[in-house]
Structure 1
């Protein structure tokens, strides 16, 4: 369905990247290093992951939305998977199997997104300032994704320009559609203080505007910059249920699932002001309740 990517249509796309908090806090699953991809190694793990994706697809079907299934590979890059004991060959198999897993679940009106995360802490400072370092690093995982049925590659929770540029260039090398999702702090800026609009513009300038579109994830709607709805290159928001800062969420021992109806109303208001904003979903603290509330409010 790569000819039906969100920037090619105004339909509502419902996605979800809050699976880890859903698994840990609602379903009682242990996720060492916050990684969900190792669950695919056991029948029990596959079953609980299937349940998360099934809930997402049911929410989308209930409102006749297209759904984007993100592979559980946000932590499946070399540095982040090393503490879990994965060598390169094992990690390659895990990435390919993870995309195949969600592709096998896909039905009508479904896009398969190969999900990747940052090289290091999504909320910490940049480890490097050279995009080529990130290009070479992420090219490995993106190359594995190129061997799968993924419709696109989506980079989530990226927090600085050099890594975004490197990721996009690596996807461009293989002519894969790529989506870039930044995260912002409670003040609406990237963690290094860069305004979101400046980050998008600089990344586009350095990559020939190759990214299909941009997004923001792992941020509550209250944390978005005032000009958010004016940024036409930003077509997606995958929002936290909680208003807490990233630091507070990292240290949380209980789930803050916010108010699903309120979150839905906030995203619907943003969509009303910015019709190009057509990829919506829930990040930390969210589950199928939030997805249904978002779709219900947006499509009311």
Structure 2
């Protein structure tokens, strides 16, 4: 893809909660919650293609753009050993993940349907728990390896999803800067609208921007229900304009409650769509719409149908 990211000036969709969809809805075992293993077999690759296609068809039908997010969220170097892979094998799966997205873009993209290929970078540890902190230098050094692999494979951008703390988010941004790719940073939020570290979202955004010369293309919110963070974004402050994407959870449960569940709380897709629309009426700069834990095509469809071509009047129902 050449030129500026289309999501900077138009509405684009992305997918839902890939891992929870595969595990709970499709009955596919993902060791360590790592969807990257699907690229290791023809069957798994076909399953990923089947997962992405309906999202692409939805976006094309509604006239939005689309961000194809790679299945590499849990595919940074530390995860090779737990997945029973050699580092070179994990690198190969990262490359295969981007190759798959290029093939899908070649099939679906047109002059009126823009598709962005995003290399997904997840946290070194857990997406709910900040765990053991790295300093910024260590975080940049750790994430640089995967950033280089994804960039060389042909990703248009990087997306740092489920970031739980400022240091690691800053490190990913510096790694993206090193490889010359734009990057979006998406923070995990708790039920109080703060990061798992307790940092307010405003402080996290401003800290990363300050440390990186405002390098991120934009920020996103993920892994929280809109009820958990809507009030935070009601502030009339300049920093909120940096929030351009939402990948919300279907459930209102806390992360601790979700971790303890053996069944999926899929929430109410139609209600979720209404909540997204209400959010966009107050924060019209938000242009990237997708889902996180517990969401699937039903939820993204409901969100898209509620938000695409919504009335310009912020008081419209």
**TM-score range with shorter-chain normalisation?**
over 0.9
Aligned to 2:67: 68
SS of the residue corresponding to residue 103 of structure 1 reads helix
User: How far does residue 126 in structure 1 lie from its aligned partner after superposition?
Assistant: 4.3
CA distance in 2, matches of 1:227, 1:125: 21
Does 112-121 or 38-47 show the bigger shift?
A: 38-47
CA distance in 2, matches of 1:187, 1:112: 32
Aligned to 1:248: 257
Match of 1:168 among 156, 173, 177: 173
Contact 2:164 2:195 in 1 (8 A): yes
SS of the residue corresponding to residue 72 of structure 1 reads coil
Contact 2:12 2:287 in 1 (8 A): yes
Does 239-248 or 222-231 show the bigger shift?
A: 222-231
Aligned to 1:117: 122
Q: Does 1:179 align with 2:184?
A: yes
User: How far does residue 95 in structure 1 lie from its aligned partner after superposition?
Assistant: 0.7
Match of 1:150 among 131, 137, 155: 155
Match of 1:286 among 295, 305, 310: 295
Contact 1:134 1:166 in 2 (8 A): yes
Contact 1:80 1:120 in 2 (8 A): no
User: How far does residue 4 in structure 1 lie from its aligned partner after superposition?
Assistant: 4.2
CA distance in 2, matches of 1:126, 1:133: 15
Contact 2:8 2:287 in 1 (8 A): no
Unaligned runs of 5+ in 2: 311-317
Contact 1:71 1:115 in 2 (8 A): yes
User: How far does residue 207 in structure 1 lie from its aligned partner after superposition?
Assistant: 0.5
Q: Does 1:237 align with 2:246?
A: yes
Contact 1:124 1:191 in 2 (8 A): yes
Equivalences, count = 299
Aligned to 2:3: 3
Q: Give the alignment's TM-score, normalised by structure 2.
A: 0.91
Contact 2:16 2:299 in 1 (8 A): no
CA distance in 2, matches of 1:268, 1:2: 30
Aligned to 2:268: 259
CA distance in 1, matches of 2:138, 2:40: 31
Aligned to 1:33: 32
User: How far does residue 6 in structure 1 lie from its aligned partner after superposition?
Assistant: 4.5
Instruction: Describe how 1:131-146 pairs up with structure 2 within 5 A.
Output: 131-146=136-151
SS of the residue corresponding to residue 14 of structure 2 reads strand
CA distance in 1, matches of 2:24, 2:166: 32
Provide closer, same or farther for how the CA distance between residues 192 and 6 of structure 1 changes in structure 2, counting only shifts above 3 A: farther
CA distance in 1, matches of 2:131, 2:170: 13
Q: Does 1:42 align with 2:41?
A: yes
Contact 1:19 1:287 in 2 (8 A): yes
Unaligned runs of 5+ in 1: none
CA distance in 2, matches of 1:268, 1:281: 13
User: How far does residue 129 in structure 1 lie from its aligned partner after superposition?
Assistant: 4.3
Aligned to 2:313: none
Runs of 4+ in 1 over 3 A off after TM superposition: none
Contact 1:113 1:154 in 2 (8 A): yes
